[in-house]
Structures are given as C-alpha cells and as structure tokens.
C-alpha cells in the first residue's frame, strides 16, 4: 500500500522511520490501534507502552518500513477521534528532517510537473488516492470495533465495594444525626409547651382568684 521510490542499482532504500502515537483512549483495544496503523503502510513494529502494573498506557511508538507510510499516518491519524479523544501523531526533529529529505528526493525524481491544484504538502495524485483508500479502511475498522468502543469500562469490584460500604456508613451516620436532631427538637418543643402550659395555668389561677 505504501509508496516508495523505485530503486535502481545506485539508489538507497528509504530510511525506516518511527512515529509517536499518543492520547489513545483506554477503550481502544491495542489490536484495533495496530490495524489502523497498518492501514497507513507496512508496520515493522508497534509498541504500546505499559505501566508497572502491566496496564497499557495512552501512547506508543510505531516503526514504518517506508517514510511514505509515516507521512500518511501523520496526515490521516493525527487528530483522529476515538471515544471523544483525538490521537496525537508526530515525529521527532531527526525523523522530521529525514521525511523532508525523502519528500525532496521524491519530488526531484518525479518527471511530472507540479500541478496548480496540488496541496502545499506536496501530496501527489497517487498519494491522495492511496490516502482515500486508507481512510476508507480506517472507517471500516471503526465500524468493526464500534460495539466494543461504546461499551462502558468495567469498574474494579473491590474498590467499588469499599466505596459502597463507605457510602452506606455515611448515610447511616447522617440518618442517625437527623434522628438525634429531631429528638432534640421535640424535647425543646415539649419544654416550650410545658412553659406555655405553666404560664396558662398561672394565668387561669390568677383569673379565678380575681373572680372570687
């Protein structure tokens, strides 16, 4: 799928290039990411970084056999959205220089004149056609993994159980406090009622004495 310079006896094979792929959604299976990278060209290796616990991290490094594949990967997959997160695809300064040299050699080796409608990235008609084919393949991969991508991540059981226990305990304590506050309020109201009743009784007694 990837385009390479046609080699002659004196021409050297284009250098192997490495691209950084970051901001990968945790919902994206590693197999899916590898398939997407392969749609851009021949992948020599793909290594998604793992944490100390073995959990896959949100970034990795892909090594392509030809620079054309790296260029296509940058054009198509940079800012490609997966589960609301956009991929970050870029290369370091050294690789960027290699890619610029490759594009310059490719441009000089081509006998076709540059057309007015050609893009500023010097993407020739053949590469544009290959990009369209690759993008169609990427869309197909997204459809294939749609159900898995839309599935809610399963929470770990133990932490959730602890959280539920804490929540239940907090609710019980709150209910107890509310109950205690309610009893205190009732006692205060009873005291007030007693005082009011005493005052009423005193008033009645005085009123009776006055009538006598």
Q: Provide the pLDDT for residue 177.
A: 53
Asked whether 58 and 121 are in contact (CB, 8 A), the reply is no
**pLDDT greater at residue 116 or residue 133:** 133
Q: Is 184 in the same domain as 88?
A: no
The string of DSSP codes covering 83-103 is TTEE-EEE--HHHHHHHHHHH
Any domain includes 11: no
Q: Could you tell me if 105 and 183 lie in one domain?
A: no
Among residues 92, 30, 17, which one has the least CA distance to residue 58?
Answer: 30
- Report the CATH number that the domain containing residue 138 is assigned in CATH: 3.30.70.330
For residues 175 and 191, give the distance between their C-alpha atoms in angstroms, rounded to a whole number: 24
Copy the structure tokens of residue 2: 């990837």
Which one-letter DSSP state was computed for residue 115? P
pLDDT at 187 over 50: no
Judge if 127 and 45 occupy the same domain. Answer: yes
Same domain, 50 and 96: yes
Low-confidence winner among 16-20, 48-52, 84-88, 202-206 (lowest mean pLDDT): 202-206
| Ranges 32-36, 92-96, 176-180, 195-199: which has the least confidence | 176-180
Question: What stretch of H or E contains 77?
Answer: helix 67-77
Determine what percent of the chain is predicted with pLDDT higher than 90.
Answer: 50
Tell me, yes or no, whether 191 lies in a domain.
yes
Give the span between the Cα atoms of 91 and 70, in whole angstroms.
Answer: 9
Within this chain, do residues 171 and 195 fall inside the same structural domain, yes or no? yes
* One domain, residues 23 and 90: yes
> 25 and 93 share a domain?
yes
9 within a domain of the structure (yes/no): no
Are 146 and 165 part of one and the same domain?
A: no
Structural domain count of the chain: 2
pLDDT at 56: 92
| pLDDT tens column, 49-77 | 999 999 999 999 999 999 999 999 999 99
The C-alpha atoms of residue 58 and residue 39 are separated, in whole angstroms, by: 20
Share of the chain above pLDDT 70, in %: 60
Pair (127, 31) in one structural domain: yes
Distance in angstroms (rounded) separating the CA atoms of residues 57 and 26: 8
Question: Looking at the structure, do residues 53 and 75 belong to the same domain, yes or no?
Answer: yes
Range of the domain at 194: 161-212
């Amino acid at each position: 799928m990837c385009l390479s310079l046609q080699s002659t006896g004196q021409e050297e094979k284009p250098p192997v290039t490495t691209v950084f792929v970051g901001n990968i959604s945790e919902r994206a299976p590693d197999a899916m990411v590898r398939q997407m990278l392969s749609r851009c060209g021949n992948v020599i290796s793909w290594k998604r970084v793992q944490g100390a616990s073995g959990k896959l991290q949100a970034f990795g490094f892909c090594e392509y056999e030809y620079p054309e594949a790296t260029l296509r990967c940058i054009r198509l997959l940079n800012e490609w959205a997966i589960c609301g997160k956009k991929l970050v695809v870029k290369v370091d300064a050294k690789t960027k220089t290699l890619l610029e040299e490759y594009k310059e050699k490719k441009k000089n080796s081509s006998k076709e004149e540059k057309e007015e409608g050609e893009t500023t990235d010097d993407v020739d008609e053949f590469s544009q056609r290959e990009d369209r084919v690759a993008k169609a393949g990427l869309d197909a991969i997204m459809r294939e993994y749609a159900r898995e991508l839309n599935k809610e991540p399963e929470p770990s059981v133990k932490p959730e159980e602890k959280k539920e226990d804490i929540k239940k305990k907090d609710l019980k304590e709150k209910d107890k406090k509310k109950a205690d506050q309610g009893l205190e309020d009732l006692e205060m109201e009873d005291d007030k009622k007693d005082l009011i009743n005493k005052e009423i009784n005193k008033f009645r007694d005085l009123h009776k004495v006055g009538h006598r």
